[in-house]
């Protein structure tokens, strides 16, 4: 039978389609994907990642077992089979962060199945997540963040594109937005006199962030120069052909700007969000307030930025203290 909608692979590097022959399992997968989209309000790019990870897992299990994959066969999986899948991922050269993400997706699927009486497998609970390296955000310095914005505007082929890139990067740095959040904005998000912005974050959660004058000024300059009609319900940021700006294009513009400035590969659009939080904290910002502005569900996620500030202070101490 055909695959359920939302479970078909679109990876051009894997032209062979993964086919579920068991109708019951196909329906389970389809319902899970629909739940992610409709109830969990998972972002489209995240759903694509879930799709890839669950397809890779199911493909491995089907080849490993050598038979038709069913709900019953998934329910009977043993810890050794989950570990064999993880070993395959390691052998493929995937980073530990990617392996941990894939395991999280598979766990999510099995938890959902158990809660909805589709299938139960306790073996997945015995599989430990690979130990991850301790990651500390890598922000830009204030001068470099401003230089990126100015350079992105200067190197554009068309003036309005330069104003667009400057407005986008100013939003990331001035409001701490994720690139997906900024590209989801419409002209209707910006009132004529409002000094705040309602952002649709992860999981459909909304938050309010303050909008600095310099941010509003950059957006207004872009809107005035944009050659396309910017209707209230449509994308604020446009590509050169008039469609919504693709995240890959924004990342490419950042690569060009950092190349001009000689900045490291860690200077990405997301690094501007890191810079927003780090520079606020360095200026005495309240950690809880920064958490709310970033849209972090957990304070521990925001606390990573205190480590960045501590590292900076220690470096300054070692460079300037006479006994260091």
296 given a catalytic annotation: yes
Report in angstroms the alpha-carbon separations of 224 from 44, 59, 164, 165, 187: 30, 51, 10, 14, 12
Question: Would you give the DSSP letter of residue 204?
Answer: G
Task: Pull the structure tokens for residue 212.
Answer: 């600095």
* DSSP secondary structure letters along 141-198: PHHHHHHHHHHHHHT-SSHHHHHHHHHHHHHHHHH---HHHHHT--GGGS-SS-SEEE
> Which one of 305, 317, 318, 323 is the catalytic residue?
305
Q: How far apart are CA 9 and CA 51, in angstroms?
A: 8
> Which one of 238, 253, 273, 274 is the catalytic residue?
273
For 242: left if phi > 0, alpha if psi spans -120 to 50, otherwise beta; the answer is left
* DSSP secondary structure letters along 91-136: HTT--HHHHHHHHHHHHHHHHHHHHTTS---SGGGGPPPPPPP---
> Which one of 40, 101, 207, 270 is the catalytic residue?
270
274 given a catalytic annotation: no
Task: Pull the structure tokens for residue 303.
Answer: 């606390």
95 given a catalytic annotation: no
173 given a catalytic annotation: no
Q: Are 144 and 266 in contact (CB under 8 A)?
A: no
89 given a catalytic annotation: no
> Which one of 118, 238, 253, 296 is the catalytic residue?
296
> Which one of 178, 238, 253, 258 is the catalytic residue?
178
> Which one of 96, 202, 207, 255 is the catalytic residue?
202
Residue 284 three-state SS: coil
All residues at 6 or more sequence positions from 37 whose CB lies less than 8 Å from its CB, including other chains:
6, 47
63 given a catalytic annotation: no
Q: How far apart are CA 305 and CA 296, in angstroms?
A: 12
Please list the active-site residues.
Answer: 178, 202, 270, 273, 296, 305
């Amino acid at each position: 039978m055909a695959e359920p909608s939302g479970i078909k692979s679109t990876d051009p590097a894997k032209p062979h389609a993964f086919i579920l022959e068991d109708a019951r399992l196909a329906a389970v997968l389809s319902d899970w994907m629909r739940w992610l989209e409709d109830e969990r309000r998972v972002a489209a790019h995240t759903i694509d990642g879930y799709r890839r990870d669950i397809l890779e897992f199911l493909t491995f299990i089907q080849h490993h077992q050598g038979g038709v994959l069913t709900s019953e066969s998934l329910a009977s999986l043993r810890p050794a089979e989950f570990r064999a899948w993880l070993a395959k991922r390691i052998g493929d050269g995937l980073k530990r962060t990617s392996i941990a993400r894939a395991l999280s997706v598979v766990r999510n699927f099995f938890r959902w199945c158990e809660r909805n009486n589709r299938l139960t497998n306790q073996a997945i609970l015995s599989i430990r997540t690979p130990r991850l390296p301790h990651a500390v955000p890598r922000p830009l310095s204030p001068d470099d963040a401003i230089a990126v914005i100015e350079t992105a505007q200067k190197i554009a082929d068309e003036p309005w594109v330069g104003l667009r890139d400057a407005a986008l990067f100013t939003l990331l740095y001035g409001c701490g937005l994720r690139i997906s959040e900024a590209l989801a904005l419409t002209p209707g998000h910006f009132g004529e006199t409002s000094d705040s912005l309602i952002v649709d974050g992860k999981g459909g959660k909304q938050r309010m962030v303050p909008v600095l004058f310099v941010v509003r000024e950059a957006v207004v300059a872009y809107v005035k120069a944009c050659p396309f009609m910017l209707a209230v319900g449509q994308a604020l940021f446009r590509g050169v052909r008039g469609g919504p700006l693709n995240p890959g294009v924004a990342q490419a513009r950042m690569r060009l700007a950092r190349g001009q400035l000689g900045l490291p590969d860690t200077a990405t659009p997301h690094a501007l969000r890191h810079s927003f939080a780090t520079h606020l904290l360095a200026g005495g910002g309240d950690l809880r307030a920064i958490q709310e502005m970033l849209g972090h569900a957990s304070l521990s996620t925001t606390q990573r930025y205190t480590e960045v500030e501590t590292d900076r202070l220690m470096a300054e101490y070692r460079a300037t203290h006479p006994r260091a």
